[in-house]
Chain A
């Protein structure tokens, strides 16, 4: 068992550390709550997607049939018309497209449709993309062709030069082919080919296809636009390369898909305006919503995941609080809390911002006909995005998926708010609780300490009662303890008082019978007695006078105690008193040698000089009694700091073991019985101690031992002096 010196207060402080469990519990609770909120958000979001999917069910027109029925789409062949943010200026310079350039696909050898001579390397390749803006399908072709062959100015043929072939299955179900070929840079001329794919003529100009042809260092750029109503769900582009101006033979064809055959034509997905208009209603919603087709290609999109806070967050918006508490919270508590909590960041990287194809377990799940949802971390790890998907049904077939996405910022904000409140409450409760406990412990420990101090001060080292304990009035255990202490001390006090008065009462009670004996003996002495009788009377008288001396001794101590309680204190020179006393002793004890060393300073002190002289009497009497015959008694008075030190040394027998304290007690005498010719009550040193203590000094006795040889006994009295 460890016994560390820990006070009550510290113990309570340690115990109150268990209050720290409270925030942990609260934190766990809030985490649990957040889990449920997340679940709720997931369900809500699934509900949103479901509601939107419901609006889109059984509306086949909205979906591009051709592509939708393909089992898979092929990038490059199946085109996707990106929604463009603004109109494109048709100037052949591709600056307008710069923000979309990363979407552009490169068509090279893998997309070669025809080669006149397989052994010759392909000289032509191009970069291409299509986009959609305000009813037009825009597209650009950045063709690398070291040898650009324009259409001859007078040639009727449009296909024996470098040209761009366009084929589409128009919305009316007809297969249409166009060729863009120019005789010089500038506005393009488009021509529609006959319906029969075998035929290349006659051609009719098609002015709805507008654009520009611009020669570049590498080859040429074509930038064009086609009204959306001319473009069906199938579309293919091909760049036909002619290098020999003489023969004008087609050397190679590179394209998105074969433009000769409707069957081989690739598809084009134009984000559906109808769907967009439907989900536009949802843009007021707080989440970002996508509608994708069964290939995951985005048909429509609304909302922005950055600006969209969600339902959860909106409810927790608070007004600026300008009260003291509000400001304190804002300036001190919140910075502290947000060292632990994380504020949902406003700027995080959204990997899907401009995606055209969505993927993910939720979409796969939705395509299989079930609701799905997934959580993902943004690539920078700053935000968690919740995505839910639900399928759109057309005739028992999943034609697309509605995807809704939200960040968990709302929940996190909500969680943070909850934690803030929780922390506030916990801080308050903890500080109040700790304070209360601390004060409680302090009051208990201070009461116990007070009691301890009182108990310690109640009885001095000699076991006498110095002051009574006043019992506490508080009705609890400590109060009880204090009251029992008070009663113990008072009972002990009564007993000590009884003991202390013992000698005075004894002397008083004995005095009368002694007087009887004495007066009777005196009577006897006055009468004529025979010598044999006289002898006994003398012995009896001697005995009585000894008894009388004992009684006097006994009452002397009592009387001194009494007198000390109302003694008048003067300022007097201690060294003068001591030297006066020493002169007196030299007269009184002419046979005794004294060796006196008294310091020159007066050493003035407060006290009663008569008592000091009495103290000297007692000590010198004691020293003479024990002194070895012939040796000198050394008396030395010196000052040390605020104390005068008086030492009286005599050569004589050693102090009895473990008695150096007791010899100053009342009625303690350590003389050998045989040396006793006078009565000794052991009051002399007791009186000396009383006087020393009355002057706030102390007295001690110890053997003087040098080199293990006992030389004598030295009494030392320390008395406080007044330093002027």
Chain B
């Protein structure tokens, strides 16, 4: 049974999530603040951690906890689940090594899907399964099973949301995907400008690998398109 830790200071939310996850068959430990969570984690690491950023009297307690967890394990999947939805916080959280950043608007099915995806990836990384489900377009290779994207054979570290967005774009190269479609594909429900900033981040990650990357095309007012010609 997978062990999930929830660090959340709001009792009602904590209990709600805990119950839902338990119903899904996970073993859930809930902590109200950073010190108790950290104490428990030093004893035993969970298989996945869901962390709120603001924890009781610590405004950025979640960030600190994320850092400590990352220090303990580099492979432990970490999700931020928070009310804070500014760009700055999202970027911050993802930079600190979180695997995903979800706003509290997220619905239960969505959350569960994310969890499942993360678990699948970590499992795949651990097992040497070669069952391939690959999409290849020129320099781009998408391994859906491993939730991994390669550009010119080099892996690119994308968050799950970003992965699904790239996946949605590259599945049908040359087709314009509207923001709404991307949202559905990435299974997130945010406003348009968040999609824009996600696309920007994806571009940056590719460009960091390859200066000449120019495959994600903006179709003004309509959406984005994967363009193999570059």
Known: A519-B12, A522-B107, A584-B223. 19 other contacts (CB 8 A): A508-B83, A511-B103, A518-B105, A519-B20, A520-B16, A523-B16, A552-B190, A555-B86, A558-B86, A577-B220, A580-B221, A580-B222, A581-B221, A581-B222, A584-B178, A584-B222, A585-B221, A587-B222, A614-B193
User: Could you list some 27 contacts between A and B, CB below 8 A?
Assistant: A511-B104, A512-B104, A514-B105, A515-B10, A515-B105, A516-B12, A516-B16, A518-B105, A519-B12, A519-B108, A522-B108, A523-B20, A526-B108, A559-B85, A559-B87, A562-B86, A562-B87, A562-B88, A563-B193, A577-B221, A581-B221, A583-B221, A583-B222, A584-B222, A585-B221, A609-B218, A616-B221
Whole-angstrom distance between the Cβ of A538 and the nearest chain B Cβ: 15
Main secondary structure of the interface of B (DSSP, over half): mixed
- Asked if B154 is at the interface (CB within 8 A of a chain A CB), the reply is no
Asked if A38 is at the interface (CB within 8 A of a chain B CB), the reply is no
Q: Is the CB of A519 within 8 A of B17?
A: yes
Q: Is A668 an interface residue (CB 8 A)?
A: no
Chain B interface residue count, CB cutoff 8 Å, equals: 32
Q: CB distance B86 to A584 under 8 Å?
A: no
Chain A nearest Cβ from B137, distance in angstroms: 24
Interface of A is mostly: helix
Residues from chain B with a CB closer than 8 A to the CB of A617 are 192
Question: Bound complex: CA of A523 vs CA of B108, how far in Å?
Answer: 9
Q: From residue A582, how far is it (CB to closest CB) to chain B in Å?
A: 7
B58: Cβ under 8 A from any A Cβ? no
- Given the known interface contacts A511-B83, A515-B104, A516-B10, the answer about A522 and B220 at a Cβ–Cβ threshold of 8 Å is no
Decide yes or no whether B187 CB sits under 8 A from chain A: no
What is the bound-complex CA distance between A580 and B17, given in angstroms?
Answer: 42
B219 on the A face (CB < 8 A): yes
The verdict on B75 contacting chain A, using a C-beta distance below 8 Å, is: no
The reply on A704 being an interface residue by CB < 8 A is no
CB-CB under 8 A from A563, the residues of chain B are 87, 193, 197
Q: A559-B87, A580-B221 are contacts. A519–B193 as well, Cβ < 8 Å?
A: no
With the chains together, A317 CA to B187 CA distance in Å?
110
Closest chain-A Cβ to B197's Cβ sits at a distance in Å of: 7
The number of chain A residues touching the other chain, given as a range, is 35 or more
A585 to B10, CA, bound (A): 42
Confirm or deny: A613 has a beta carbon within 8 angstroms of a beta carbon on chain B.
yes
Contact A520 to B221, CB < 8 A, known contacts A548-B105, A559-B86, A562-B86: no
Interface code A510-536, partner B: CB below 8 Å = 1, 0 otherwise? 011011101110110010000000000
Smallest CB–CB gap between A560 and chain B, Å?
6
Within 8 A of A (CB), among B2-25: 10, 12-13, 16-17, 19-20, 23
- Residues of chain A within 8 A of B108, CB atoms compared: 519, 522, 526
Could you tell me if B220 and A581 are in contact, using CB atoms closer than 8 angstroms?
A: yes
Cα A612 to Cα B196 in complex, Å, equals: 13
Partner of A515, one of B13, B23, B197: B13
Instruction: A559 to B193: give the CA distance in the assembly, Å.
Output: 9
